Structure formats: C-alpha cells, structure tokens
Amino acid sequence: MKRSIICLLLALVLLGSMVCAAQADAVQLTALDDYAKCKFTKNYTVYSGPGEQYIRPGSSTSSVRKNKTTYVFGYTGNWLLVGFEVSAKKEWAVGYISRDALNHTSSVSGNIPELTFQPSLIGYADNYCRLTEDPLWRGGDYMPYTIPEGTAFTVLAVRGKSQAWTYVEVNTPKGPMRGFVWTKHVIYRDGQVPATPIPTPKPTPKPTPKPTAVPTPIPTAAPYTPPTVAPYIPPTAAPYIPPTAVPYSPTATPYWYPTAVPTAVPYWYPTAAPTAAPYWYPTAAPQNSFYHDQVKGYWFPKSQYVYFSSAWPVYSGPGDYYWRAADGKATMGGGNCILYGVENNWALIGYTLSNQAFRIGYISAAALPQQGLSVPYLDLAYKTGLVTTDSMLTDDIVRYYPTLATVPGGTYVLFLGYITDNSNNTWAFIELLTNNNLMRGFIPAANLALK
C-alpha cells in the first residue's frame, strides 16, 4: 500500500533564457571569442551559470570587484557572462553576474550582445574530461572538477581560434555547473557534430573625428606662408591581446580526483540496521511512543508535521559520517517540518529552505520534542538494488532539484524503501558510495530493479 507524503507545493522558477539555433546538417554553436571591457562601480557575486542555483566559481567565494577591468561576452536573460580576475596571481574565471551591473559602470568599451546558446547538443566525457573555469589565463591546468567518463552534458559554445575549448553545463554532486573542457575530450554520438560557430557580434567601432583646420589671417604687408599644421591624432591604447591557451600536457601521471563511482559491486557498508537485534531507542525523547509500522511492506510509514524549536545539522543518512549537503553545512533552521520516522538515534525529516527548495535528511533524534508524539520506526528494506539506467540522485522529491550525483546505470545500491510525492510519483530511497562519500537520496522508482 503506497503512502503519500505531506509536502508543500513549490514552484520552480527557471532563470535566464536560451535560444536554439540549428542547421539541417549540423548543430551551430556560439563562439565566445569577442568581448567588451567594462569597469563596474559595485561588487557582484558570481555564479558559474545564469542563476543562483549554479555552483559559484573561484572556490565558491568569487565576486567581480568594483573598478577592476572585466571582460563581458554578452548577456542571456537577466545575467551577464563575464571573465574576471579572482586573485593577484593572474587567476581568472568565467561566470555570470546580474545584468543589473550594466546600470553601474564607469566605462564600457563596446556593445554588449545577447548570447544565443544551443542547448540541444549533448556531449559525453571521455576518460580525461576535466572542467575548468579559467580558459583565459592558465591554459586549463586549474581544473576544479573531473567529469566521470561517459557522463552526458549540454554543449553550449566554443572558444578559441581553433575551437580548442568547449563551453558546457554538467550536473555535479554539489549542483549544476558551467565551465570549459578541452574539445578533444568531448565525444558526440548519433551523428551529431558541431558546425561552424556563430560568432558573437563585434562592437561597431567609433571612427575618430578628423580635426578641423582653423584658417590663419594673412598679413597684407608681405606675402605670408602659413605653417603646415599636422592633424591631431589622439593617443590610442594598445589593444588587449588575451594570452594564448596552451594545451595542458602533464609530464607525470595525472592525479585522478575521486569523482567516479567505484565499480566494485555490490558494496555493503557497515551502516545497515541489525537483522536480529532490536532498534536503538532515542534516549533524548523518552516520553514519546514509538511503534513499528504493521503494514509497511517496502513503503515509508505515514508522516506527520512536527515543530522544532531550534536549528539542527542535517545529514543524508543516519550518522554524521554521511555526506552533508550545502558544502557540509546543511541545517534545518527550526519551525514546522515533516517527520517520517526514527532510525536508531536519528530522525528522518523533510524541511523547506529559505529559497523555497525542499530537502529530506536526517537529524539527531535528540531534536524531537520530549513528549506528545507517536513516532514510527523506519523499518527499512535494506535490500540490494540495481540502477537500470543513468539516474540523478536528489534529496528534493518536491521539485526534483537540486541533484546530488549522477548514478550510472548498472550500479548496485542499497535499497531502503519507496515513497510517493503529492503528484503520485514513486521514488526509491537508496544508499551508495559516490565521490568517496557515503550518501542517501532518491531516484525514480522505475529506474531501480530489486535483486
């Protein structure tokens, strides 16, 4: 018997806009090679994509600083795509700031065009596809993320005279991210190939006005020969020549960051509930009643609203060694939350965030009110499951966003139970080891086969 969760209806706002352009024989891509130079009079927070849901570049602390030269490639929706210096070491990044910045400029060298990306071309990572946020200076030896081999991503644009860089968007365990990869590490399938890029419009140069000669009066006493006046040529600044990106060729075996899902199957991490021993009672809430769901099957028990009077850290599983969202800072801030049940000394809850997102995770059972609750144990299945197709793991089954990780088809996981959302979609709650993190989350139930 399916149990429906009680949850809030939330609207997902899509920020920015994209325009598709296609040819009959190939897919055209925008070339991000032209830019205008600007200086802004305010600081602006930078995101890797056109929206606050994207990962921030520059170690997630970067901003465009006022009165610093910034390269503006164009705008899409309410966002500007810019290149900016993130440190005194000539480290650069490319990202998005609010288009409001155009209202706070001290200088602009040319027109700011609207960017037309092509979001229908899908590329796949080869076995050394690493993403950088700096194709301007360091030539790509600073790569903050390795895209696991075979991962699909959206191809948006290219950069460089030889189109050596490809601008992509990919889902990462921490959220969506845009950046650049070497074109040679992008694989296309089903006959899709990029065509000649669509260049971004170049600013119209402003001609230098010619000086007007002022006539000199000629004296009548003697013939007068006026001096030759050389035309005034205003000084011009030397054109900025961006450094040429040099292909990154490591001389030693490259370090493989632990981003790929391990191939060892199946794995059994020592976190499963004992099969014979009784559950641990949450000692912090002794006056509440706890019960085992009598008709649970593989389904979550009935949920209830509970008011929490203070904030508590949230983990994806029942222990502080599980992965924690929000860069390790996920916190339930108090107030009304949805309580699904208790597992050992941990309570599984659902709560809303300040940006109206929704998250499901575990907090200490010590957070529960001390009395007045009838709390079900989470009699979870703890069975082996096989993910049958590439699936996005999420902790938000209301908006299905943000995603936590990509789980490739063929991955064995620990199946815990089923739950339905308010739209009657069924989700499978699973546990797996990904990116060297022990993690729990949800995938569509249709994508999981029980073993």
The percent of residues above 70 in pLDDT, for the chain, comes to: 67
* Biggest distance spanned by C-alpha atoms of the chain: 125
Which pLDDT value is given to residue 373? 86
Question: Is the pLDDT assigned to residue 5 strictly greater than 80?
Answer: no
Reference 436, options 253, 179, 173; nearest CA is: 173
**Same structural domain for residues 183 and 312?**
no
- Of the residues 361, 376, 391, which one is the last residue of a structural domain? 376
Q: Are both 195 and 311 inside the same structural domain?
A: no
Measured between alpha carbons, how far is 376 from 309 in angstroms, rounded to an integer? 21
The tally of domains found in the chain comes to 2
Task: Report DSSP letters for 189-230, one per residue.
Answer: -TT--B-S-EEPPPPPPPPPPPPPPPP-PPPSSS---PPPPP
Note whether 33 and 141 are same-domain residues: yes
Is 426 among the domain residues? no
Q: Is there a domain that residue 273 lies in?
A: no
When mean pLDDT is compared across 3-12, 43-52, 144-153, 348-357, the lowest value belongs to 3-12
Range of the domain at 347: 287-291+302-376
Task: Give the domain-ending residue among 187, 203, 219.
Answer: 203
pLDDT at 182: 85
* Residue 6: C-alpha distances to residues 72, 308, 351, 420 (Å): 46, 17, 11, 10
Determine the pLDDT at residue 264: 39
pLDDT at 238 over 80: no
Segment 309-328 mean pLDDT: 92
Taking a C-beta distance cutoff of 8 angstroms, is the pair 424, 412 a contact? no
pLDDT digit string (tens) for 239-297?
Answer: 656 555 444 444 444 444 444 443 434 444 444 443 333 445 555 555 788 888 766 67
Residue 64: inside a domain: yes
* pLDDT tens figures, 326-384: 888 999 999 999 999 998 889 999 998 877 788 999 999 989 987 788 888 888 888 89
Nearest by Cα to 441 from 397, 408, 395 = 395
Q: Does one domain contain both 38 and 183? A: yes
pLDDT of residue 110: 85
Write the CB contacts of 367 (distance below 8 Å, at least 6 apart in sequence). Answer: 284, 308, 310, 312, 332, 347
Same domain, 165 and 26: yes
Dig out the tokens for 87 from the structure.
């440190």
Q: Where among 376, 398, 425 does a domain terminate?
A: 376
What pLDDT, on a 0 to 100 scale, did the predictor assign at position 370?
A: 76
Do 161 and 16 lie in one domain? The reply is yes
Does 165 reside within a domain? yes
pLDDT at 263: 42
Q: How confident is the model at residue 217 (pLDDT cuts 50, 70, 90)?
A: low
What's the average model confidence in pLDDT over 77-102? Answer: 84
Same domain, 180 and 306: no
Q: Give residue-wise pLDDT tens across range 392-413.
A: 999 998 877 667 888 999 999 9
Q: Assess if residue 267 is contained within a domain.
A: no
- Is 325 among the domain residues? yes
Whether 31 has a pLDDT exceeding 70, the answer reads: yes
Residue 66 lies in a domain: yes
Q: Tell me: the pLDDT tens digits for 101-146? A: 999 998 888 889 999 887 678 889 888 788 888 776 554 445 678 8
Using the 8-state DSSP alphabet, how is residue 344 labeled? T
pLDDT at 277: 37
- Comparing 347 with 434, which gets the higher pLDDT? 347
Check residue 21 and give its pLDDT.
Answer: 31
Identify whether 319 is part of a domain. Answer: yes
CATH for 347: 2.30.30
Higher pLDDT, 451 or 157: 157
User: Which of 196-200, 205-209, 296-300, 389-393 has the highest mean predicted lDDT (pLDDT)?
Assistant: 389-393
For residue 426, the model assigns a pLDDT of 93
